[in-house]
Structures are given as structure tokens and as C-alpha cells.
Amino acid sequence: MKETLFDVLSSAEKVNRRSFVKFGAAGLGALASASTALAFPRRTYLPPTPPPPAEAPLATLTFEVASGVHPHIMLRMLQDYIAQTLSPDFAGQVVQAQLVQRNPAAFHQQYWSDYGIQGQIAPTRTRYGYYMGVNEFARSDSELAIRIYKDLNYFEMRRVLNPAEIQQFGAILYPCGYRLPPTPADYQNYVRVAQRYYGIPNPEAFALLYTRHFNDGRNPHMGYLIARGPDPIRSPFKDVLIDNLPV
């Protein structure tokens, strides 16, 4: 049976952090192969999360409905984020959400999550020293009074929870800035990061949607949200890449 791009991408998620994914120029295939020794080991490009089995409950909590993320997958992702930054005792407090009609007033807000969370977690100090809380959105900040723009969307949360990133930076990163439109200089830096650290040989096949700083507790690092497809903003083929070098 001929493998589809989704099949190959799903299997590519299982390769170790010293492997990389090669995307064909036409976007019709992907090949996983071992990388050569690098000064900075490459991290794996994360393909779309596969749908849950048919028997999975349709939980009411979901993010990024327009981007194709299933509510059951997002529920597990958010609970995992809470469990890893705080403790599993807090994860059970977040179980529901409701659709919110949003009217973004700024670029940053265009990438808010589609659903607001019912139930709250007061700002709590994480094991990494910063604070995490839930008040409609999941947010993390260096300040106890978590600032409103420190929200995390699905793709950001998935990247900072990736074991390769935790190993690279020694912590689960937290956002330390607004989401901003990319500049030409940002694009050139994205190309370097994609090729050098994530082994993506054709960065031009992806659209760069925004940049955002993430902090490891010592230094900020630039993050890049990329997507591919005829409608990049709505595409489930998104990922956040993070520069090893501090800003």
C-alpha cells in the first residue's frame, strides 16, 4: 500500500532527536534518515497529531478547532502541560471549555486559541521557577500577576513539551513576548534554524506566520510558527521551531 504524506509524517515523529525529516519539493513525501554529527543536535520536526481512536470521548475542551486539532488530543496536551510544569494534581481541574467568538484587535490575538477554558488555576509557581495559571487560556509568565498576552496556543505548547526541547534548554520554555509579524531578517534566521537545528532541507516550502520569544529562565530564544498548505493559517501542518542561540 502506498504511504501518504500523513502516514510518513506520523511515523517520523518517532525518530530520535539526532534524526531529521526531509520533505520533497512537491510536498508529496517525506523521508526520515539519520543526521550527521552536528555542533547542535537537530530536533525533530513535529508532524500533525493523528486523530484519536473512534472510541475516544468527545471532550468539551479543545483548542485550535479551525486548525484541525481534535478536542480529545488538546485535552491531553493541556493536562500534560499542567502536570509537567506544576503537578498532576492540578491537571484534573481543567476539564471543560466553550467556544468563544473572538474579534482580534491585534496581530497577537489572531493566534489565540478558539475555545476558552471553564475553570481556573490561580497563578502558581512551577518547578522551573516561573508561574503558570489558567484563566480562560493557559498562560505562563515570569511574574506572579501573569500578563494577559502570555497565553499559549496548541502548537506552542506542543513544542515546549517536546522532550528534545526540554533536553536542549534544560526547562520547559515559557513565552516572554507578543506574537509578531515576521520581518525579512526573521525569515533569514528561520531558514538557518530550520536547516541547522531541525534538518528541514526546504524551508521555503513553509509559510512563516509569526515570531515570538520564549525564555529558558536565563535567556530569550526566538520561536517561529511555520505552516504548509494552500491555507497556512488553517492548516494542521504547523510547527513551532526554536533557535538554540539566545537573542
Query: Can you give the pTM of this predicted structure?
Result: 0.76
Contact 115, 61 (CB under 8 A): yes
Q: 222: left (phi > 0), else alpha (psi -120 to 50), else beta? A: beta
Domain extent at residue 47: 5-246
Contact 174, 123 (CB under 8 A): no
Can you give 162-189 as a three-state secondary structure string?
A: CHHHHHHHCCCCEECCCCECCCHHHHHH
pLDDT in tens, 43-84: 777 766 655 555 544 443 334 555 666 666 777 788 899 999
| Placement of cell 534566521 in the chain | 189
Low-confidence ranges of the chain (pLDDT < 70): 1-42, 47-72, 95-101, 114-119
- Give the C-alpha distances (Å, rounded to integers) separating 60 from 85, 88, 97, 186: 23, 20, 6, 37
How confident is the model at residue 62, as a pLDDT?
A: 37
How confident is the model at residue 115, as a pLDDT?
A: 64
* Domain count within the chain: 1
How confident is the model at residue 135, as a pLDDT?
A: 82
How confident is the model at residue 42, as a pLDDT?
A: 55
